[in-house]
């Protein structure tokens, strides 16, 4: 199969509220598409095909047929094939993966993958009902009621804690402390200015934050976000073509070490939570194992330098540690005690001097993850890939991971239903 190169991309500020700006999701797709072209130094005429990852535009904004929105960014895009990908919260990564597969198969040489979601268009309860469509709605809605997803993941957390008493509510809070601390280093994160007392207070004093999803509290949950992200992927043939061009001012030099897709995995589980093996989730493990095997990675603790995981709720990050192979089953919380998944600068600030020394250092969600960077559902998977690109090319500013060469992105849709994992490297 053809090698897939990642040329870069762009994203929006996840703190924005598009409705208050008088803008729509079409404006969002156009904005981020143009920004990605500018960031990569490409002309719109270079793009041969495009994908738009979006979960529920027809419900949040009454706008479907979202692949066509891409063409509004430039007249030169008129006539290219486009497609909308949907897999709940994994919609964006599925757009990137489909673009990569098209290039691997030789269908196209340059493809743009866009992810976009406008969620701040309705009340929290109405929005929650839209998100509930990512579950087995008619089976699970009568059981879980309003705000279904916090309750689904609260159930996952309860079952995990019953199986592995090593995990406590305070451990879950540590996930939030880490990710909110990372977000303070990210100028585009939704919660970059959040008062850290919100998440550093003890579990006991935070009883008033408990929502109807025991044991999860408000700070254990990801955000309702408006946002978009876009990345451009290409073939080796297109890279050879670029080598004869002079890079535009402000873009990365063509001669810089390229970022390539080293491996990927994609798996789907049953839709309803009751049909899943909680908390082990074998299909998710299959997707991760496939991606790592294709990338030639035998020991992720030694061979990965950074990871973006799907922390829609704090429990999902703990489980991700174990699915990836950073910790044994039931031992994911230990990485929060020794700081193995924190940026070194954050570890030095928030851990006590007598904290155990981490056996390895692989920062996870260095920009804040879904919990603090934000979670515009259809854009999250694309944003993760953009973060991987920026880390691998040394463009992450104060949250830069030193000597990052191999990076994993892990995106999930539904209650651990769809899993898309990709390994990127230089």
Per residue in 93-112, pLDDT (tens digit) is 999 999 999 999 999 999 99
Homologous superfamily (CATH) of 5-119+225-242 is: Thiolase/Chalcone synthase (3.40.47.10)
Report pLDDT for 208.
47
Domain ranges of the chain: 5-119+225-242
| Spatial separation of the C-alpha atoms in residues 203 and 177, rounded to whole Å | 12
Listed as ranges, residues in the chain with pLDDT below 70 are 198-212
Report pLDDT for 127.
95
Report pLDDT for 257.
83
Per residue in 147-188, pLDDT (tens digit) is 999 999 999 999 999 999 999 999 999 999 999 999 999 999
């Amino acid at each position: 199969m053809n090698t897939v190169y990642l040329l870069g991309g762009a994203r929006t500020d996840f703190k924005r509220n598009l409705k208050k700006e008088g803008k729509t999701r079409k404006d969002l797709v156009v904005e981020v598409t143009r920004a990605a072209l500018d960031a990569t130094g490409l002309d719109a005429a270079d793009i041969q095909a495009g994908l738009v990852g979006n979960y529920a535009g027809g419900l949040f904004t009454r706008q479907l047929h979202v692949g066509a929105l891409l063409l509004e960014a430039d007249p030169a895009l008129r006539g290219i094939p486009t497609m909308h990908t949907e897999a709940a919260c994994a919609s964006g990564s599925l757009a990137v993966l489909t673009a990569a597969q098209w290039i691997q198969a030789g269908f196209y040489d340059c493809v743009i993958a866009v992810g976009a979601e406008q969620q701040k268009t309705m009340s929290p309860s109405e929005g929650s009902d839209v998100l509930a469509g990512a579950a087995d709605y008619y089976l699970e809605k009568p059981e879980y009621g309003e705000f279904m997803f916090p309750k689904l993941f609260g159930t996952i957390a309860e079952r995990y804690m019953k199986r592995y008493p090593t995990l406590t509510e305070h451990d879950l809070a540590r996930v939030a402390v880490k990710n909110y601390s990372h977000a303070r280093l990210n100028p585009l994160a939704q919660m970059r200015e959040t008062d850290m007392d919100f998440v550093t207070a003890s579990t006991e004093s935070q009883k008033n934050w408990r929502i109807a999803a025991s044991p999860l509290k408000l700070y254990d949950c990801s955000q309702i976000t408006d946002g978009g992200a876009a990345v451009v992927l290409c073939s080796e043939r297109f890279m050879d073509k670029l080598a004869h061009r002079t890079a535009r001012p402000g873009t990365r030099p063509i001669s810089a070490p390229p970022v390539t897709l080293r491996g990927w995995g994609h798996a789907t589980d049953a839709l309803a939570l009751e049909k899943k093996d909680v908390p082990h989730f074998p299909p998710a493990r299959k997707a991760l194992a496939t991606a790592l095997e294709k990338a030639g990675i035998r020991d992720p603790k030694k061979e990965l330098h950074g990871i973006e995981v799907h922390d829609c709720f704090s429990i999902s990050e703990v489980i991700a540690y174990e699915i990836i192979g950073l910790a044994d089953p039931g031992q994911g919380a230990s990485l929060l005690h020794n700081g193995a998944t924190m940026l070194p600068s954050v570890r030095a600030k928030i851990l006590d001097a007598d904290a155990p020394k981490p056996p390895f250092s692989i920062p996870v969600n260095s920009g804040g993850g879904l919990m603090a960077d934000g979670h515009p559902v259809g854009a999250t998977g694309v944003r993760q890939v953009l973060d991987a690109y920026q880390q691998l090319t040394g463009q992450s500013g104060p949250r830069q991971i030193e000597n990052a060469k191999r990076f994993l992105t892990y995106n999930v849709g539904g209650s651990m239903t769809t899993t898309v994992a990709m390994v990127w490297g230089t």
